């Protein structure tokens, strides 16, 4: 018997290109998807990602952070909206608000983020400009379980993107984004297949194809 689909809620704040990559791999139109996207939640009513989800026939909700006096109230409202759907995993796909420790604790090892840098380097914002400024030869992106300190937690997968001498913030950012669109679905598929576990704060992949962990250098990067 095949395993039931993993129900995921995806949180966004903006254009939702990573969300689109997940819809393309796991959306309602995909036969034999190991994942069901049960909710797309945005903290901004004008996020284009909401339109992408609606077009795909995926339920959406906006929880506007501006409507709440504090972060605990905002996170509590998001948590309630997510739990109502029966989601088993929360996926941060360009969700640009910091979450409270309480929210994070409630989704321990069930909360995944994508970050546009090779963590633990370049936590926070403006990662591509900072990578260029630092003169690193390799940059990339990371999928990780979320812990309370910003951009920390067990690393599930990373993709490496070489920095070219003539790169600008924009050109480098576009290549990293293309890598994100490949890496994120791959990491979530492994989770849905029950092949990712956390031991001593390290993510272990139980799949012979990724015995050394997922680290890849996307073709053409």
Q: Does 132 bind ligand GAR (CB under 6 A)?
A: no
Closest CA to 19 of 8, 33, 3, 32: 8
Nearest approach, Cβ of residue 54 and ligand GAR (Å): 16
Q: Which long-range contacts (CB under 8 A, 24 or more apart) does 61-70 make?
A: 65/97
14 is a site residue for ligand GAR (CB under 6 A): yes
| Residue whose CB is less far from ligand GAR, 2 or 107 | 107
Q: Please list every residue from 160 through 199 that binds ligand GAR, using CB under 6 A.
A: 177, 180
- Least distance from ligand GAR to the Cβ atom of residue 115, Å: 5
Comparing CB distances to ligand GAR, the nearer of 182 and 193 is 182
Nearer to ligand GAR, 80 or 96 (CB): 96
- Give backbone dihedrals phi and psi of 155, rounded to 5 degrees, phi first: -85, 125
115 annotated active-site: yes
Under rule CB under 6 A, residue 16 binds ligand GAR: yes
Nearer to ligand GAR by C-beta: 80 or 98? 98
The 80-109 contact track toward ligand GAR, x by CB under 6 A, reads -------------xx---------------
Query: Which of 115, 112, 65, 71 minimizes the C-alpha distance to 94?
Result: 115
Query: Which two three-digit tokens encode residue 51?
Result: 């339109």
Strands 196-199 and 202-205, sheet pairing: antiparallel
Contacts made by residues 14-17, CB under 8 angstroms, sequence distance 24+: 14/44, 14/47, 14/48, 14/49, 14/94, 14/96, 15/47, 15/48, 15/49, 15/94, 16/40, 16/47, 16/48, 16/49, 16/50, 16/52, 16/53, 16/93, 16/94, 17/94, 17/177, 17/181
Report the residue number, 149 or 207, with the smaller CB distance to ligand GAR: 149
Q: Is 115 in the site for ligand GAR (CB under 6 A)?
A: yes
Selecting among 65, 115, 126, 139, the annotated active-site residue is 115
CB of 15 to ligand GAR, least distance (A): 4
Where b means 16+ CB within 10 Å and e means fewer, 174-200 reads: ebbbbbbbbbbbbbbbbbbeeebeeee
Stretch that binds ligand GAR, among 38-46, 114-122, 186-194, 197-205 (CB under 6 A): 114-122
116 binds ligand GAR (CB under 6 A): yes
Q: Under the rule (CB under 6 A), what is the footprint of ligand GAR?
A: 12, 14-18, 93-94, 114-116, 177, 180
The residues assigned a catalytic role are 115
């Amino acid at each position: 018997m095949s395993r039931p689909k993993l129900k995921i809620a995806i949180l966004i704040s903006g254009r939702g290109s990573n969300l689109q990559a997940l819809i393309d791999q796991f959306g309602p139109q995909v036969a034999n998807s190991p994942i069901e996207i049960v909710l797309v939640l945005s903290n901004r009513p004008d996020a284009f990602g909401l339109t992408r989800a609606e077009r795909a026939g995926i339920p959406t909700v906006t929880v506007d952070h501006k409507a709440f006096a504090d972060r605990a109230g905002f996170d509590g409202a998001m948590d309630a909206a997510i739990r109502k759907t029966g989601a088993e995993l929360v996926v941060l796909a360009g969700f640009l608000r910091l979450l409270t420790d309480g929210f994070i604790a409630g989704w321990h090892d069930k909360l995944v983020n994508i970050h546009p840098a090779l963590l633990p380097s370049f936590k926070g914002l403006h990662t591509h400009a900072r990578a260029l400024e630092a003169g690193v030869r390799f940059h990339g992106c990371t999928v990780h379980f979320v812990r309370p300190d910003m951009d920390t937690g067990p690393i599930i997968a990373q993709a490496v993107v070489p920095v070219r001498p003539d790169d600008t913030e924009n050109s480098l950012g576009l290549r990293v984004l293309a890598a994100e669109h490949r890496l994120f679905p791959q990491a979530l598929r492994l989770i849905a297949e029950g092949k990712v576990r956390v031991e001593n704060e390290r993510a272990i992949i139980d799949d012979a194809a990724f015995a050394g962990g997922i680290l890849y250098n996307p073709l053409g990067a």
